[in-house]
């Protein structure tokens, strides 16, 4: 029987999500384009009223300039399902053309409920199974309370709650599928893992942030089979599983080359430029000093970002290929997603979720680092949250998360520094948190000068970028430490951390 902490933690996670959902959302009462809330509603309108092969094609009934579908087919099918439910409850919510910008109290309840439903079904179950598999068979046995606490903390990620239940998106689906992929790999179900990850890729193209480590891990597993025949069978089985999954999901669009390219053009909009808005990555930070868009075309910048990203991914990918262990893979998932966020093309600020979710999977090994990263990743979303009037839940969720986290991992070495290095870490951490607080308060209380209207957003991006660059170096160092260690590293580290755990 599960510990009471698990039941209480689930209820707490649901309550925080629903309370956040009572606040405003992206583009509320902001015509003519509104925001992401309207985008998700409009996709329901399009998918339930038009034929499947028209969902990604510009027409009089589907103006792609007004929140045209730009996610892969699985997102469209999910929108269709939600749209059918909406059509049953109130046809006015998804009526073609006339429902644009529709807003009402009951519609807001419906939209929030659709997120919670898939969150509970996919993300909650993925997190629970991850910690169940991860802690299974530890010697001595890990207490159920420890597993429950880790599950609860993973569910309380403030950035995910703010984006999915405040701003309004369905990131919990693709992120949950990625964790399910890791669960399958931990259990040795490699073909199932390939199918599940293909579903994640077909829900949100940003899941490509994880593609390199998962590809190299599975390829190394194939080559590790006993003989050439088994290697070939394993490779073909995994490849066919991926191909069949894509073919089934893309079936309405593979009837012609033109249709396929139209879909790809919607999913990968290279014509939008290397960044669309202010984001805490390398290219935007560089543009503050040098206006790179004035010196390079979008095509050149796309090639530059591709080359930079691939080169930066090589060390982490090499480590996974040479030593395909789950520990190595988890560090590589962090490094790969963080490199994509920092250096790839058309990065959105919300993509930092791809990193923070994986970081929390290592909280038992690096409690302080994980807490630090979660706070910085949430802080990096602040300009977006100010625009959406979500600063009350922003402060509330961060403070609550820090309180729960530090209570669960109460015996941080940082609180009892015994050498100059530990004192330096303590001072740096506290200074970093104070900086986040001051910049957050300043953005709300200090008017920006007329000649620098975006000074607060730019300061946030630069501050976050500096932290993320340090994190990507640090996580690479951790990965190569694991790469050099024997495979017993996993158990000893988890146990030493679990023993120090305070009870909640």
Task: Supply the DSSP symbol for 480.
Answer: H
Q: Give pLDDT tens digits for 96-138.
A: 999 999 999 999 999 999 999 999 999 999 999 999 998 886 6
Q: Give pLDDT tens digits for 404-431.
A: 998 888 665 555 666 767 778 888 999 9
* Per-residue exposure over 105-128, b if at least 16 CB sit within 10 Å of its own CB, e if not: eebbebbbebbbebbbebbbebbb
How many C-beta atoms surround the C-beta of residue 481 within 10 A?
Answer: 11
Please tell me the distance from the alpha carbon of residue 74 to that of residue 367, in angstroms, as a whole number: 35
Radius of gyration of the chain (CA): 23
pLDDT interval class at 325 (50, 70, 90):
very high
- The answer to whether the beta carbons of residues 46 and 70 sit under 8 Å apart is no
- The answer to whether the beta carbons of residues 319 and 483 sit under 8 Å apart is yes
As a whole number, the mean pLDDT across the chain is: 90
pLDDT interval class at 489 (50, 70, 90):
very low
Q: Give pLDDT tens digits for 379-399.
A: 999 999 999 999 999 999 999
- Reduce the secondary structure of 33-90 to three states and give it as a string: CCCHHHHHHHHHHHHHHCCHHHCCCCCCCCCCCCCCCCCCHHHHHHHHHHHHHHHHHC
Alpha helices, DSSP H, located in 485-503:
489-499
Please tell me the distance from the alpha carbon of residue 278 to that of residue 404, in angstroms, as a whole number: 31
pLDDT interval class at 219 (50, 70, 90):
very high
Q: Give pLDDT tens digits for 253-304.
A: 988 888 898 899 899 877 777 777 789 999 989 888 888 877 888 788 888 9
| Residue recorded with tokens 């919990």 | 172
Spans of all domains in the chain = 17-499
* 300 phi/psi in degrees, rounded to 5: -65, -40
Q: Give pLDDT tens digits for 155-210.
A: 999 999 999 999 999 999 999 999 999 999 999 999 999 999 999 999 999 999 99
pLDDT of residue 412: 58
pTM summary value: 0.93
Bond before 281 cis per omega within 30 degrees: no
Torsional sign, CA 177, 182, 188, 190:
positive
pLDDT of residue 137: 61
Could you tell me how far CA 236 lies from the centroid of its own chain? Answer: 30
Tokens for 387? Answer: 């625009």
How many C-beta atoms surround the C-beta of residue 26 within 10 A?
Answer: 22
pLDDT of residue 420: 67
- The answer to whether the beta carbons of residues 405 and 371 sit under 8 Å apart is yes
- The answer to whether the beta carbons of residues 283 and 466 sit under 8 Å apart is no
């Amino acid at each position: 029987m599960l510990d009471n902490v698990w039941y209480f933690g689930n209820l707490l996670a649901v309550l925080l999500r629903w309370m956040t959902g009572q606040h405003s959302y992206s583009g509320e009462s902001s015509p003519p384009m509104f925001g992401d809330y309207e985008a998700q509603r409009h996709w329901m309108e399009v998918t339930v009223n038009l034929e499947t092969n028209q969902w990604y094609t510009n027409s009089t009934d589907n103006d792609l300039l007004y929140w045209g579908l730009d996610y892969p087919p699985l997102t469209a099918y999910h929108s269709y399902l939600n749209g059918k439910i909406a059509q049953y409850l109130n046809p006015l919510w998804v009526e073609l053309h006339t429902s644009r910008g529709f807003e009402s109290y009951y519609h807001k309840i419906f939209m929030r409920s659709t997120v919670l439903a898939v969150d509970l079904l996919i993300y909650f179950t993925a997190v629970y199974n991850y910690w169940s598999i991860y802690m299974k068979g530890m010697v001595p046995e890990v207490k159920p309370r420890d597993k429950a606490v880790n599950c609860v903390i993973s569910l309380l990620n403030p950035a995910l709650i703010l984006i999915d239940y405040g701003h309004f998106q369905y990131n919990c689906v693709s992120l949950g599928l990625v964790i399910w992929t890791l669960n399958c790999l931990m259990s040795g179900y490699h073909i199932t893992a390939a199918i599940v990850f293909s579903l994640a890729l077909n829900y949100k193209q940003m899941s490509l942030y994880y593609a390199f480590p998962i590809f190299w891990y599975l390829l190394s597993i194939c080559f590790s089979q006993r003989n050439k025949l088994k290697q070939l069978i394993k490779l073909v089985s995994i490849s066919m599983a991926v191909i069949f999954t894509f073919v089934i999901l893309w079936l309405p669009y593979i009837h012609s080359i033109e249709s396929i390219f139209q879909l790809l053009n919607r999913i990968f909009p290279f014509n939008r430029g290397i960044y669309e808005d202010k984001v805490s990555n390398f290219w935007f930070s560089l543009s503050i000093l040098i206006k790179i868009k004035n010196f390079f075309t979008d095509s050149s910048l796309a090639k530059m970002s591709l080359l930079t990203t691939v080169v930066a991914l090589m060390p982490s990918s090499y480590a996974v290929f040479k030593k395909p262990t789950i520990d190595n893979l988890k560090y590589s998932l962090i490094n790969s997603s963080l490199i994509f966020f920092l250096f790839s093309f058309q990065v959105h600020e919300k993509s930092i979720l791809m990193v923070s979710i994986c970081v929390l999977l290592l909280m038992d090994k690096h409690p302080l680092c994980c807490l630090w990263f979660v706070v910085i990743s949430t802080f990096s979303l602040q300009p977006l949250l100010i625009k959406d009037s979500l600063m009350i839940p922003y402060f509330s969720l961060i403070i609550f998360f820090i309180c729960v986290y530090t209570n669960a991992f109460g015996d941080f070495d940082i609180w009892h520094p015994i050498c100059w290095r530990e004192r330096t870490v303590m001072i740096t951490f506290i200074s970093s948190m104070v900086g986040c607080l001051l910049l957050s308060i300043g953005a709300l209380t200090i008017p920006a000068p007329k000649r620098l209207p975006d000074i607060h957003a730019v300061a946030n991006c630069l501050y976050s970028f500096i932290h993320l660059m340090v994190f990507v170096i640090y996580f690479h160092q951790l990965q190569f430490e694991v790469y050099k260690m024997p495979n017993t590293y996993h158990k000893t580290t988890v146990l030493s951390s679990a023993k120090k755990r305070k009870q909640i």
